[in-house]
Amino acid sequence: MKPYNILISGGGTGGHIYPAIAIANEIKVRYPDANILFVGAKDRMEMEKVPHAGYDIKGLWISGIQRKLTIDNLSFPFKLISSLWNANKIIKQFKPDVAIGTGGFASGPTLIMANRKRIPTLIQEQNSFPGITNKMLSKKANKICVAYDHLERFFPSDKIIKTGNPVRQDLLTIHSKEKEGSEFFNLEKTKKTILVLGGSLGARKINQLIEANLDFFKKQKVQIIWQCGKLYFDEYKKYTELENVQVYEFVNRMDLAYAAADVIISRAGASSVSELCIVGKPVVFIPSPNVAEDHQTKNAKSIADKHGAILLHESELETFPIVFETLLKDRGKQEGLSENIKELALPGATTAIVNEIEKLLKR
């Protein structure tokens, strides 16, 4: 039997890229001779991250529509036509047995053309509130893998399978890595460790919050692993000179960072939320309000409503010192948050999604 050809499209942010790579890795475990090709958006981070993970990728000239009138918006129709044409060309050459979309600009044109050619398609929706692209693709998709309940409002109910979001497999064993994590980051055993995550590009408001509270953290006798993001590293790297502060553009060993952390401050992108449910540490979510449909707030609220995390809106950041100090001093609160967030974890997500892909391959 000839090897399967698997087409995967997703990107723009780590939240779309890492689930796509996790799915590809699981397919490779089951079908080592499978041919896997990614389709991404030119000049976006997937063009670097996917080859780094060992997979080929083709780029489309595509971007999203901005909320205000810009030159990019005027060029969008031309980008869309170009992307549909090139996606069609890629599909004709690669002849995929199945096409998978994990969200992002490029997945729209890719899966539209796959559907037109009657290639089975599966979309993986990470958020509790889907974006426009996946809502549109859901009409023709064969299967829709989701991470949250009540998405029948947006998708055909007979296509929905609740699987959870794919996460890095090394997170499943972090509770045995606390000593290794502490040594890797050269941490003091007597101090609590705060892990700050603003996403791969960074989060301005979170970075400003941490900067404004450095003296406060010093008084609390905590040490900080601060992932400030690619866009802000040059601005904040100077704080690594401070005692008990480590600033990173990107944390390569997230498993060890999670293992070493006592409390985590994080954005609420879907992949981060799914990872943090498995990690099971006390979390303060500070969602970005500047994303489509305010989906980060909805993601964080779905956890906070079940007493699995603290939700702090950007408009409430002046209360952060009180919220944080109260949490730090309340061992019972920390343990309660940990237990409750763990109950929401779906650690078998990648396996469940690839099970559904297998069904499409074997039809």
What is the CB neighbour count within 10 angstroms for residue 191? 14
Instruction: Specify the pLDDT at position 157.
Output: 95
What residue ranges define each of the domains in the chain, with the CATH number in brackets? 5-167+347-362 (3.40.50.2000), 169-342 (3.40.50.2000)
Q: Which of helix, strand or coil describes residue 131?
A: coil
Annotated binding site, which residues?
13-15, 127, 168, 200, 296
Cα separation, 267 vs 13, whole angstroms: 13
Give the pLDDT band of residue 102 (cuts 50, 70, 90).
very high
For the stretch 271-305, pLDDT in tens is 899 999 999 999 999 999 987 778 899 999 999 99
DSSP 157: G
14-30 vs 349-362: helix crossing angle, rounded to 10: 60
Cβ atoms of 223 and 251 closer than 8 Å = no
For the stretch 181-216, pLDDT in tens is 999 999 999 999 999 998 777 789 999 999 999 999
Q: Which of helix, strand or coil describes residue 66?
A: coil
Q: Give 179's contacts (C-beta < 8 A, 6+ positions apart).
A: none
Residues in the chain: 363
Determine what percent of the chain is predicted with pLDDT higher than 90: 73
Annotated binding site for UDP-N-acetyl-alpha-D-glucosamine, which residues?
13-15, 127, 168, 200, 296
Cβ atoms of 5 and 95 closer than 8 Å = yes
CA dihedral 211, 216, 217, 218 (to 10 degrees): 110
Instruction: Please say if the pLDDT value at position 76 is more than 90.
Output: no
* Range in 35-39, 259-263, 269-273 the model is least confident about: 269-273
Give the pLDDT band of residue 66 (cuts 50, 70, 90).
low
What is the value of pTM for the model shown? Answer: 0.83
Q: Which of helix, strand or coil describes residue 349?
A: helix
Cα separation, 212 vs 239, whole angstroms: 12
Instruction: Specify the pLDDT at position 45.
Output: 84
